[in-house]
Structure 1
Amino acid sequence: MSSGEVERSLKERENVFVMFASLMLEEESEVGALPAVCEFPDVFPNDVSDLAPEREVEFSINVVL
């Protein structure tokens, strides 16, 4: 179901059941072991502890209540 379909259903006062799922890893994995990281090493820095750089365009997702 797309976000547009959810929004339309809510506007039409239909009953909607939405479930969000997340995945928790039981053990830490090495970033270097991921195939995409191995294929494009220049894209992935070794240290990602800093915040992302500030961008010219702000991005936001509006939450519909």
Structure 2
Amino acid sequence: QQRQRQQQLQQQQRQRQRQQQPQQRQQPRQPQQARQRQRQQRQRQQQQQQRRRQQQPQQRQQPRQ
């Protein structure tokens, strides 16, 4: 269940990024574009953190081969 929840969160973040990209093209204002880029970077960082969290418990659960 935990893995599924994390994957769903990642999918939601990716969808948000896709929504922001067309907005950037339409908006002529540069300051808003910069803000949206920052948001995308933050979301990417969050995704990386979630992936790390997923990997760590899996490593602990696996018996030594």
Larger Rg: 1
TM-score clears 0.5: no
TM-score (norm 1): 0.30
Q: Which has the higher contact order (CA 8 A, sep 6+)?
A: 2
TM-score (norm 2): 0.30
